[in-house]
Structure 1
Amino acid sequence: MADKLRIQLPRHAVTTARLGALTTIYEVTSKVVDDRFAFIPTEACVAILQGVLGRAQQLFPLIDVYGFHFLSNHLHLLIGAPTLAHKSAFLEWTLREISKRINKLLGRTGSLLEQNHCIQVTTLEYALQRLRYIMGQATAQMLVRHPADDIFASSTPSLLFGKPVEGVFQYAGQAPLQVRVRIDRLPGLEALSEKDHRALMWTLADGLAAEARPKRKKAGVRIPDPAALRRIDPMTRPKERHRSPAPVVHGPAEHHEEWREAHDALRAAYTVSTRRYYAWQADPSQVLIPWPPNTLPPAFARPRRPRAGAA
């Protein structure tokens, strides 16, 4: 259990412009099982994905969403969360609902998403880089010329045009809810006017398009027609799988070392607490040792998990 311990570095928390409270920024990535193209950008699929995300924001109001993108066989979220428990509850609900509803749309059963990778972003500079990376998903894959042309479910229409990002969420037996995904201002950019913020986003997008152009030309790839993208069989898999090792944090080199040292220390303390807990179960006279701060205790040891709809 401790080998997969998720921690946070509280020293790198920032103040969210929306709530005026400390939050930790994370990039979340989750792949579709077997790399299937389950997130084909049909109208129905986009409405479901954005509907789930919009509903999640209503149920977990302490979570910021700075950017997102669903590209064929994987998703990216750039979020802010006040605690590991809040982040965990938000992701558990959101990814479960996405899996359930996309499975129903595709007429399939079983697991849809692999375990998510959640990486802390430790500086505002790197946060902007990750937002740029997320915005450029379809452009980098040579599916569109420019992020402004992106047809996949994403935060790009809001960031570039100020358009509402809307979806549909429906509980069984109830009328569908029209919901909107709130795209929060990334910490560090709150002083920018709406005009200046949009200009910055366009600078990022134009740079992505310029970077992709020579690569696309060298590869001899033609941009597919949007209608053709929407007709792709969701059970399609990529011809090549690109895997790269994930960093422990998105930040400068010294923050990587800081994370490793903290993780080693917290993992050791976490193991001691877990062993003491099992000893206490066998002998209640044993003294319990609290799980270390800045970790997520096992589910059975959490005093009260933040629930959907709880502030």
Structure 2
Amino acid sequence: MAELLRIEMDDCRLQSPRLGCPVLVFEVTSKVTDDLFLLVPRHEIVAILNGVLGRAQQKTADFDFDLYGYYFMSNHLHLLIGVVELVDKSLVLEWVNREIAKRINKYHDRQLLTPNHAIQVTSEAHALERLRYLMGQATAQLKTRHPADDVFACANPALLRGEPLTGVFRHASGVEEEVTVRLDRLPGLGDLTPKAHRALMWELADGIAAEHRPRRKKAGLPVPDPEAVRHVDPWTRPKERDRSPAPVVHGTPEQQAEWRALHAALREAYTEAHIAYWNWLANPSLPLIPFPPGTIPPSHARKKLRALAESG
């Protein structure tokens, strides 16, 4: 069983402007195996990545989700999403990561894995801060002067200029479909006019550029050419790995403490239910213990438990 459970803080749901109901907001990070630059933003790769996201949004019969922002750096990706149910997050990420891996593997003729880590966002203010963080990925790494200059597969062209985020999804039949990624309004921003929303996004982007300009000058670096990142060798990796510990939630210190207490309580109940499930597999006459609310049963158990519930 994983050390950290996938849990939700139900009282920290935020109102979705698109769905008109409260949702769980998560920032998701997925990293490429061995930190290789396999998502380097060549035009074909940008089309693949946008295509997977656009196709995921068409699969509403399987799952539905808000997509507030995203950013694919060369060796990792960030998504800012909203879901009505916790299990929807797992379904979305399982499908998106699998399809990205399948297509990038074929492009590079290698095996790519993208394990993901999702952190709940607990307030509208923290959600806007996380969107700002995503928008500034390349600028913070001094790869671009300003978020508006980015060539990576990301939401910035739509957020700042209203440009369509187009991609190509190749179906199993071999048919290629051009798709467009839909960006949804963040909770708290649904009432803004398009002009006011774009002005806010530019305010965020200009602030990001101003924040990192002194760093670039202090390092004696020239204004970066955004196109240069397209030519990075995908079989290389960062020379240095500067990683700070991730918070358990994007929220206040009090919410961090609340999450830890909730996780400890749920983990105990989850462990008991998991053990009972394995015992039931060995002997179906034994009783099952329900997995606690606010958690997701392990993927290998979901289908069996769903079939059992449907059979009565």
TM-score with structure 1 setting the length: 0.94
Match among 59, 64, 67 for residue 66 of structure 2: 64
Deviation (angstroms), 1:275:
1.8
Structure 2, unaligned stretches of length 5 or more? 308-312
Aligned to 1:95: 97
Deviation (angstroms), 1:222:
2.3
Task: Indicate conservation of the 8 Å contact 1:25/1:79, yes or no.
Answer: yes
| Partner Cα separation in structure 1 for residue 202 and residue 287 of structure 2 | 58
| Partner Cα separation in structure 2 for residue 58 and residue 161 of structure 1 | 24
Aligned to 2:248: 248
Task: Indicate conservation of the 8 Å contact 2:145/2:224, yes or no.
Answer: no
1:157 aligns with 2:173: no
Distance 1:278 1:42, change over 3 A: closer
| Residue identity opposite 1:80 in structure 2 | G
1:214 aligns with 2:197: no
Q: Percent identity?
A: 58
Show structure 1 runs of 4+ deviating over 4 A.
Answer: none
| Residue identity opposite 2:64 in structure 1 | L
Structure 1, unaligned stretches of length 5 or more? 306-311
Partner-residue secondary structure (3-state), 2:3: helix
| 1:226-280 Cα deviation digits (max 9, x unpaired) | 3432111111111111111111000011100010000000000011111222333
| Residue identity opposite 1:112 in structure 2 | L
| Residue identity opposite 1:69 in structure 2 | Y
| 1:168-212 Cα deviation digits (max 9, x unpaired) | 001134321010000000010111111111110000000000001
Deviation (angstroms), 1:2:
5.1
Aligned to 1:309: none
| Partner Cα separation in structure 2 for residue 137 and residue 304 of structure 1 | 40
| Partner Cα separation in structure 1 for residue 98 and residue 306 of structure 2 | 20
| Partner Cα separation in structure 2 for residue 192 and residue 281 of structure 1 | 53
Aligned to 2:310: none
| Partner Cα separation in structure 2 for residue 167 and residue 217 of structure 1 | 35
Deviation (angstroms), 1:283:
4.0
Task: Indicate conservation of the 8 Å contact 1:2/1:270, yes or no.
Answer: no
| Partner Cα separation in structure 1 for residue 249 and residue 178 of structure 2 | 36
| Residue identity opposite 2:240 in structure 1 | E
Matches within 5 A, 1:165-184: 165-184=165-184
Distance 1:280 1:107, change over 3 A: closer
| Residue identity opposite 1:244 in structure 2 | S
Aligned to 1:308: none
Task: Indicate conservation of the 8 Å contact 1:51/1:167, yes or no.
Answer: yes
1:202 aligns with 2:202: yes
Aligned to 2:113: 112
| 1:261-308 Cα deviation digits (max 9, x unpaired) | 000000000111112223333444432210100101122432449xxx
Aligned to 1:10: 10
| Residue identity opposite 2:233 in structure 1 | D
| Residue identity opposite 1:166 in structure 2 | T
| Partner Cα separation in structure 1 for residue 79 and residue 258 of structure 2 | 24
